[in-house]
Structure 1
Amino acid sequence: MRLVLDGTGLTCARVHEVARARPVPGTAAARVEVGTAERARIAWLTAGSLTGPVYGRTTGVGANKNVMVESGGLDLLRSHAGGAGPPVSPERARAMLLVRANQVLAGGSGADPGVAYALADALNRGFTPPVRTYGAIGTGDLTALATTALCLLGEVAWRAPEGEAGPPPRYAVAEALAFISSGAATLGDAALGCHRLRALLHAGIDVAARSFAAVAASAEPLAPAVQAARPHPGQAVVAARVRELLPGLAGDAVRPEPAAYGLTAPATGRVQDPYGYRAFPQVHGAALDALGAAARAVEVDMNAATENPLIAEGRAWHNGNFHSAPIALALDAARAAVVQAASLSVTRLATLMEPGYTGLLPFLADEPGRSGLMILEYVAQDALAELRHLAAPVTTGSATMSHGVEDHAGFATQAARRALAAVEPLEIVLACELVAAARAIRLRAPRQEDELTRGLDPATGDRVLDADIEAARALIGEAAGRFSG
Structure 2
Amino acid sequence: MILTGNTLTLKQMKEILLEQKSVSVSEESWEKVEESRAAVEKIVKDNRVVYGITTGFGKFSDVLINKEHVEELQLNLIHSHAVGVGEVFPESVSRAMLVLRANALLKGYSGVRRIVIERLLEFVNKGIHPVVPQQGSLGASGDLAPLSHLVLPLLGEGEVFYKGHRVEALKAMTKEGIFPITLTAKEGLALINGTQAMTAMGIVGYLEAEKLAYQSEMIAAMTMEGLNGIIDAFDQDVQIARGYPEQIRVAERMRELLAGSKLVTKQGEIRVQDAYSLRCIPQVHGATWQVLNYVKEKLEIEMNAATDNPLIFEGGKKVISGGNFHGQPIAFAMDFLGIAIAELANISERRIERLVNPQLNDLPPFLSPEPGLQSGAMIMQYCAASLVSENKTLAHPASVDSIPSSANQEDHVSMGTIGSRHAYQIIANTRRVLAIELICAMQAAEIKGKEKMSPITKDILEEGRKKIPFIEKDRVFAKDIAVAEDWLKTSVSITKKKVNFKVETC
Instruction: Name the structure 2 match of 1:231.
Output: 243
1:324 is displaced (CA, Å) by: 0.8
Instruction: Name the structure 1 match of 2:25.
Output: 34
Q: How many residues align?
A: 464
Say if 2:247 and 2:287, in contact at 8 Å, map to a contact too. yes
CA distance in 1, matches of 2:411, 2:379: 48
1:475 is displaced (CA, Å) by: 3.3
The one-letter amino acid of 1:44's match is R
CA distance in 2, matches of 1:169, 1:338: 43
- When the two structures are superposed, what TM-score results if normalisation uses the length of structure 2? 0.85
Classify 1:124/1:451 alpha carbon distance in 2 versus 1 (closer, same or farther; 3 Å): farther
> Aligned pair 1:479/2:482, yes or no?
no
The Cα offsets for residues 15-48 of structure 1, whole Å up to 9 and x where unpaired, read as: 3443455xxxxxxx64222234233333222333
Paired residue secondary structure (1:400): coil
> Aligned pair 1:391/2:403, yes or no?
no
The one-letter amino acid of 1:64's match is F
Classify 1:476/1:75 alpha carbon distance in 2 versus 1 (closer, same or farther; 3 Å): closer
Say if 2:229 and 2:264, in contact at 8 Å, map to a contact too. no
Classify 1:340/1:156 alpha carbon distance in 2 versus 1 (closer, same or farther; 3 Å): closer
CA distance in 1, matches of 2:353, 2:135: 39
The Cα offsets for residues 417-464 of structure 1, whole Å up to 9 and x where unpaired, read as: 111222221111101111111111111114456232222312432322
Paired residue secondary structure (2:162): coil
Range 50-59 or range 301-310, more displaced: 50-59
Classify 1:78/1:192 alpha carbon distance in 2 versus 1 (closer, same or farther; 3 Å): same
Instruction: Name the structure 1 match of 2:305.
Output: 304
Of residues 180, 196, 218, the one that matches 2:192 is 180
> Aligned pair 1:209/2:221, yes or no?
yes
Paired residue secondary structure (1:452): helix
Say if 2:18 and 2:504, in contact at 8 Å, map to a contact too. no
> Aligned pair 1:379/2:370, yes or no?
no
CA distance in 2, matches of 1:310, 1:301: 16
Classify 1:482/1:42 alpha carbon distance in 2 versus 1 (closer, same or farther; 3 Å): farther
CA distance in 1, matches of 2:150, 2:482: 36
> Aligned pair 1:66/2:62, yes or no?
yes
Classify 1:285/1:356 alpha carbon distance in 2 versus 1 (closer, same or farther; 3 Å): same
1:227 is displaced (CA, Å) by: 1.0
Range 112-121 or range 372-381, more displaced: 112-121
The one-letter amino acid of 2:53's match is R
Say if 2:228 and 2:264, in contact at 8 Å, map to a contact too. no
Instruction: Name the structure 1 match of 2:51.
Output: 55
Say if 1:236 and 1:281, in contact at 8 Å, map to a contact too. yes
Classify 1:101/1:362 alpha carbon distance in 2 versus 1 (closer, same or farther; 3 Å): same
Classify 1:482/1:431 alpha carbon distance in 2 versus 1 (closer, same or farther; 3 Å): same
CA distance in 1, matches of 2:257, 2:354: 20
The Cα offsets for residues 154-203 of structure 1, whole Å up to 9 and x where unpaired, read as: 24454433596333453333222122211212211111111111211111
Say if 2:230 and 2:264, in contact at 8 Å, map to a contact too. no
Of residues 222, 225, 231, the one that matches 2:234 is 222
Paired residue secondary structure (1:31): coil
State how 1:305-320 maps to structure 2 within 5 Å: 305-314=306-315, 315-320=318-323
Classify 1:153/1:464 alpha carbon distance in 2 versus 1 (closer, same or farther; 3 Å): closer
RMSD: 2.5
Range 398-407 or range 310-319, more displaced: 310-319
Instruction: Name the structure 2 match of 1:260.
Output: none
Paired residue secondary structure (1:377): helix
| Aligned residues with identical type, % of pairs | 33
CA distance in 1, matches of 2:309, 2:278: 49
Paired residue secondary structure (1:128): strand
Of residues 6, 9, 14, the one that matches 2:7 is 9
CA distance in 2, matches of 1:13, 1:418: 23
Instruction: Name the structure 1 match of 2:206.
Output: 194
> Aligned pair 1:422/2:434, yes or no?
no
Say if 1:207 and 1:433, in contact at 8 Å, map to a contact too. yes
Range 95-104 or range 35-44, more displaced: 35-44
Classify 1:156/1:473 alpha carbon distance in 2 versus 1 (closer, same or farther; 3 Å): closer
Instruction: Name the structure 1 match of 2:288.
Output: 287
Instruction: Name the structure 1 match of 2:496.
Output: none
1:294 is displaced (CA, Å) by: 1.3
Classify 1:254/1:243 alpha carbon distance in 2 versus 1 (closer, same or farther; 3 Å): closer
Paired residue secondary structure (1:40): helix
